[in-house]
Amino acid sequence: MRLATGTLGLALFAGACGGGSSPGIMAPTAPIKPKRAPNIVFIVTDDLDARSFAFMPLVKSIIADRGVTFASAYVSVPACCPSRASIFTGKYAHNHGVLFNGPPDGGFEGFHDAGEERSTLATCLKDKGYRTAMVGKYLNGYPSGGDPNYVPPGWDEWFGIDSELTSDTYYNYGVNLNGQRVSFGDGPDDYETDVLAPRVPSFNESDVSDKPQWVREMDPLGPREVEKLDRLYRNRLQTLLAVDEMVQRILGTLEQAGVLEETYVFFTSDNGFQMGEHRFPHGKDSPYEESILVPLVVRGPGVPAGRVLSHLVSNVDFAPTFAEMAGAPIPPDVDGRSLVPLLGSSPPAADSWRKEALVEHFARQRSGIPAFRELRMPMLAYVEYDDGNGELYDMQADPYELDNAFASAPAATIAALSSRLAVLKRCRGAGCR
């Protein structure tokens, strides 16, 4: 449930740039060809659902209002490590092989042992002369009992939080600072990142008879559980205030350094989070919007101010985006597509962009939620579970996914959706785009 603690910051700097600017100045409305490759600051929160982003007024003011907001940004897997592996590599989980948050086929160990660290957005941009930095959470399990001073390839500056940190701890943690162990205590200066919203219709859903068995098996939330969720949600939103302020400080630092006008700033999350929707007490890993839809806002050179785009985008798109910004070749095995065409003054129409995004979930025995694959389209969400269940929602008429139309839909519709999903869950490279 970490929000502040799980923040990942990637800073990719092309070099010192002249000229000052102010966060209050509107970005140019036409693409700029920088004299040199632009700087890139990429901020990833942990478990931040799209709805909670509304409680971050500073980020909205200094990034969203001065750049582009992507209203349909989805994660490839609604779980931390698989999602972050997709960010680093630009690949879907069925191609990078990180399926879970822990070993053997997940977590830091799975990513490291599979050799995926040899080719990431960090190594790609470093090869193009960028100076790279990683600050915060890397992958669950890092360093997993291995060399506590290990720094992955491609990073010039490394401030990686030790995985011994628990999900609710903001004090008493360890950090690998460029290969050296540093410990933090419980003082006021050690806080790592130094209310309530109205109920949505899906909260504690009353009738789940049309849902898969794993949902039907969950009892309605009782008063004590709702009270606990209220308290938990309030605490989560309070942690967001620290993240909000942190982002403001980052942009202030860029401004003081005179490089803000030549820096792209991305803000997003590795996955969403459910808190009572569809009776799910709290967590993620589900195919529902609360788990898979994340905030994504971008500002930078040539990015129009205040624009909202409905284009379907995925976290597999970040690696090719940063590669193109850096002038680096995009590896042919990357599953995502660069977002650079969407950041200028004349983006392609949404209906000429990606038609669907793939969401995957891989389940171990007794995990609770069966493995599934989801085909997320602009107006439809189609889910196939390995246990034979399915879900289908009209996202325009039923945005809270209350009425599962899988059983009543025409057989031809289900067959067509299933056929397309079958292609995507085996796709590689260009076939995924």
pLDDT at 314: 97
Average pLDDT of the residues of the chain: 86
Q: Domains in the chain, start-ordered, CATH in brackets?
A: 8-14+25-337 (3.40.720.10)
Tell me the pLDDT tens digit for each residue of 296-342.
999 999 999 999 999 999 999 999 999 999 999 998 999 999 999 99
Q: pTM of the predicted model, to two decimals? A: 0.86
Is a pLDDT exceeding 50 seen at residue 21? no
Is a pLDDT exceeding 70 seen at residue 151? yes
Is a pLDDT exceeding 50 seen at residue 26? no
Distance CA 373, CA 176 (A): 36
| pLDDT mean over 381-398 | 96
Query: pLDDT category, 386, cuts 50, 70, 90?
Result: very high
pLDDT at 148: 83
CB atoms within 10 A of CB 209: 7
pLDDT at 182: 78
Tell me the pLDDT tens digit for each residue of 50-65.
999 998 999 999 999 9
CB atoms within 10 A of CB 66: 23
CB atoms within 10 A of CB 246: 18
Q: Which two tokens stand for residue 392?
A: 């289908």
As a whole number of Å, the CA-based R_g of the chain is: 21
**Higher pLDDT pick, 167 / 108:** 108
| pLDDT mean over 209-220 | 92
Q: Which two tokens stand for residue 178?
A: 């460029």
Distance CA 292, CA 360 (A): 10
Q: Which percentage of the chain shows pLDDT scores above 70?
A: 87
pLDDT at 43: 95
Catalytic-residue membership of 80: yes
Could you say which of 17, 80, 124, 432 is catalytic? 80
Tell me the pLDDT tens digit for each residue of 115-141.
999 999 999 999 999 999 998 889 999
pLDDT at 117: 95
Range name among 107-121, 159-173, 204-218, 320-334 with the lowest pLDDT average:
159-173
Tell me the pLDDT tens digit for each residue of 333-373.
999 999 999 999 999 999 999 999 999 999 875 568 899 99
